Each structure stands twice: as structure tokens, then as C-alpha cells.
Amino acid sequence: MGSKDETGVKDHEEEDDKDVVTPWTVSTSSASGINYNKLIEKFGCFSLGEDLVQRVEKLTGKRAHIMLRRGFFFAQRDLSLILKRYEEGKPFFLYTGRGPSSGSLHLGHLIPFIFTKYLQEAFNVPLIIQMTDDEKFLWKDLTLEKAQQLCIENMKDIISVGFDPKKTFIFTNTEYMNPAFYQNVLKIWKFVTNNQARSIFGFTGEDSMGKSAFPAIQAAPCFSSSFPHIFNGKKDIPCLIPAAIDQDPYFRMSRDAAPRLKYCKPAMLYSTFLPALQGSQTKMAASEENSCIYLSDTPKQIANKIKKHAFSGGQPTVEEHRQLGGNCDVDISFQYLRYFLEDDDELERIRVDYTSGKMLSGEVKQVAVTMLQKIIGEFQERRKTITDETVNEFTAIRKLDFDF
């Protein structure tokens, strides 16, 4: 695989680019959403082609997850190197995270965790989940106590996806800072200059010191030595990070620092954004109640949000729709079906019928409502069983079911 410059991208400088993608802001003026091909070029990462999807299937003996085979995880860095390690019987681990800004996750937050669960089960590897309560305290109008409280609720949501506590370690930044972890943070701070941080993240003199310092804390879990209780102090075990593409600045920085720290570069798998109900110009946002579907929403709330707020790709009248058909590229209900409807044949039938005008917008919305009510209903049943004791089981400093 060829190399590309991973540190020179200025995410905060949009110039004439209609797509704004940073760790804190995602928006576009295009009705069809972010131009992901352009984003790959801008960030200097690589497309995730069918050859890699087939290789994953061959190595794991499992069919690729719908989010992989339908292209929602569309970009990568060094995935082929991770697959080569797996083929050679060498270890790696998974790392992903969540910044708690609301009491409940929404559907968009769920995507990396659903996909990470698939990866963990397919490859049978350890998983590290970082909860960045410190980040939300620094960036949001939250007290530290409130950020920590939201963190616990978010952890319960994440555990409800179905992770195995014998193979998964979840930690919060305000509670886990052992000597090895902090030493890695220190080393990253020393090797990443202020100029680099400003170039990558757009920090200014008006930002708090904490904001400038935080990226190193998100970078530290990339390195196995940050978790001596899991990896026995080994420094040469790389990680694979499933995340949304807006997190790329953190991991470009991590990859640049890794060789100087004599660590393995982290590999990445990047997803597209689940669009807001109002359209693909922005992603779901927990702070905008009517832009998203929370995992705590009732069946009635789900139905009302889809029927009232989900942007339609249909025509103004039934007659026009029968003649011209619907636009699946901008129809939000259809986009949600693409992310979550398991049956490929059924999805294609809906696409053909809607595009031809045989199926109306309201009918597509009802299919989406029924699907999401089922998915969220099943999630909520699992969530009822998650207690504080369950959280303690996942966050306890312990050895996982792997030998290193």
C-alpha cells in the first residue's frame, strides 16, 4: 500500500468546499449529502474496495456485515496490514469510543458499535471502548458531574448492543489514567507540536488549554502499552479503529506520532454519517431532538418522527409520483432502510418500486417505522437488564480472555 501525507490536511479550513467535516461539525449544502470520495482525497485515506470486503469474508468465514458490503464503511487506513496479521496468526485489538453528550444514544451513535460487535465476533479479538467524559466537559456546557452521569447511561446503551464482558474493556477518561496510559499521553504531548495541533484541529488562542491537550488522550488507547492489564505491557500489538470519518484528525495525529514512539500505527475503518431526519445536509445530532431517533424513543415517538420529519424523495402529488417516481438518494426513510434492513432482496424491491412510482413515500416511511420500532424495541428489552453492576463488570481493571 502506498503512503500519503497524514498530517498536512487542514480540516478547519473549508475554503470553497461545501462539505464541512470536523470532529465537532458535519454539514453540506448538497441534498444528496457529503461527497465521500472527495473526503477520502482530502483526508488522504484510502477507499475500502470490494477486494478487501471479499478478503474479510474469506479470512473470517462469515458473510460481510451489511454496513460493510453496502459501503457504509467506505474508507480505511492499513486494513490490509491488519488482515495480513490475522492471516499470520498475529494479534490485534479493536478500539472505538463515545463522547457522552446526551442521556441516550441515537441511531447514528449505534452504527460504529453494531459494526464493532460484528468485527469482534468475526475476528475474536479484544475490544477497548473509551468514554470521553472529559472531552464533553471541555467542549459542551456541562458540569463534570453531569458529563460523568451521562457517561454511565451511555455505557449502559453500548453494553446493550451485546458485547461480551470477557472480551471487552470499557473505561472513562476521568477514572482510568494508570501510569502506562499517562506516560503515553506525555510522549504524544512531547512529539506533537502546537503548530501541528492547530493545523489538524483548528485550535486558536481563545480555546482552553484542555482542548489543545485532549487529542493526546484520545490517541493513547491506540497503543497496546496503555493497557498493561490486558496486553501484559506489550508495545507491538496494533489496533483497528471503527469510527465515523469525522474522527480521522485524531488518528492521523496518532499515526504520525507512532513511529517516533516506536509503536505500531493504528489502522482505521471509517463510516459515513447517518443523516438527520430533515435531510442529508447534516448528520443526526443528539442536541436536536427532531433531527434524530433516540434509542429511548417509544414506538409512537418513532412513528411520529419518521412521518412528520423524515425528508421525502417523493413527488408533490400522487399523480406526479406515479409518473416520475421517488428519489432514493435523498429520501431519508429509504436511507435508514439501507443502513438497517438486513434483507438485500427486500431492499432492492423497495428501491425499484419507489423509484418507478409504484410505491409511495408514505409506504416507504411505514416500512422504516416498522423496522426501527422492532430494532429499538429489541434494544430496549436488553437495556432493561443492564445495571450498575453490569457496568462495573465491563469497567473493572482485569485480564480479558486472551493471552499476550
Task: Judge whether residue 12 has pLDDT over 70.
Answer: no
CA distance 215 to 222: 12
Grid coordinates standing for 266?
493504528
Distances (CA, A) of 86 to 119, 128, 237, 293, 333: 12, 18, 12, 37, 38
pLDDT tens across 116-146, in order? 999 999 999 999 999 999 999 999 999 999 9
Grid coordinates standing for 156?
449502559
pLDDT tens across 244-259, in order? 999 999 999 999 999 9
Domain(s) of CATH 1.10.240.10: residues in the chain: 286-383
Q: Domain 286-383 belongs to what architecture?
A: Orthogonal Bundle (1.10)
Q: What is the pLDDT of residue 1?
A: 42
Task: Judge whether residue 15 has pLDDT over 60.
Answer: no
* Mean pLDDT, all residues of the chain: 92
185's CB contacts (< 8 A; 6+ apart) are 216, 217, 219, 220
Bridge partners, residue 200, by sequence: none
CA distance 39 to 76: 12
Whether 31 and 281 have beta carbons less than 8 Å apart is answered as: yes
Nearest to 231 by CA among 91, 132, 95: 91
3-class DSSP state for residue 143?
A: coil
Q: What is the pLDDT of residue 4?
A: 45
The residue-averaged pLDDT of 44-55 equals 95
pLDDT tens across 23-47, in order? 888 888 887 788 999 999 999 999 9
Grid coordinates standing for 78?
492499513
Q: How far apart are the first and last CA of the chain?
A: 28
Could you confirm whether domain 34-276 is CATH 3.40.50.620?
A: yes
CA distance 83 to 124: 13
CA distance 214 to 99: 12
CA distance 235 to 265: 11
CA distance 319 to 381: 42
Band the pLDDT of 9: cuts 50, 70, 90: low
Task: Judge whether residue 208 has pLDDT over 70.
Answer: yes
Task: Judge whether residue 384 has pLDDT over 50.
Answer: yes
308's CB contacts (< 8 A; 6+ apart) are none
Q: What is the pLDDT of residue 114?
A: 96
Q: What is the pLDDT of residue 28?
A: 84
pLDDT tens across 149-195, in order? 999 999 999 999 999 999 999 999 999 989 999 999 999 999 999 89
Q: What is the pLDDT of residue 6?
A: 55
Q: What is the pLDDT of residue 17?
A: 57
Domain(s) of CATH 3.40.50.620: residues in the chain: 34-276
Band the pLDDT of 2: cuts 50, 70, 90: very low
The residue-averaged pLDDT of 296-321 equals 96
Whether 97 and 250 have beta carbons less than 8 Å apart is answered as: no
Amino acid identity, residue 143?
T
Task: Judge whether residue 383 has pLDDT over 90.
Answer: yes
Task: Judge whether residue 239 has pLDDT over 70.
Answer: yes
CA distance 84 to 87: 5
- Over pLDDT 90: what percentage of the chain? 85
The residue whose grid cell reads 424495541 is: 377
Nearest to 193 by CA among 176, 223, 216: 216
Q: What is the pLDDT of residue 11?
A: 45
pLDDT tens across 70-102, in order? 999 999 999 999 999 999 999 999 999 999 988
Please tell me what DSSP assigns to residue 229: H
Query: Which carries the bigger pLDDT value, residue 32 or residue 331?
Result: 331
Q: How many CB atoms sit inside 10 A of residue 399's CB?
A: 13
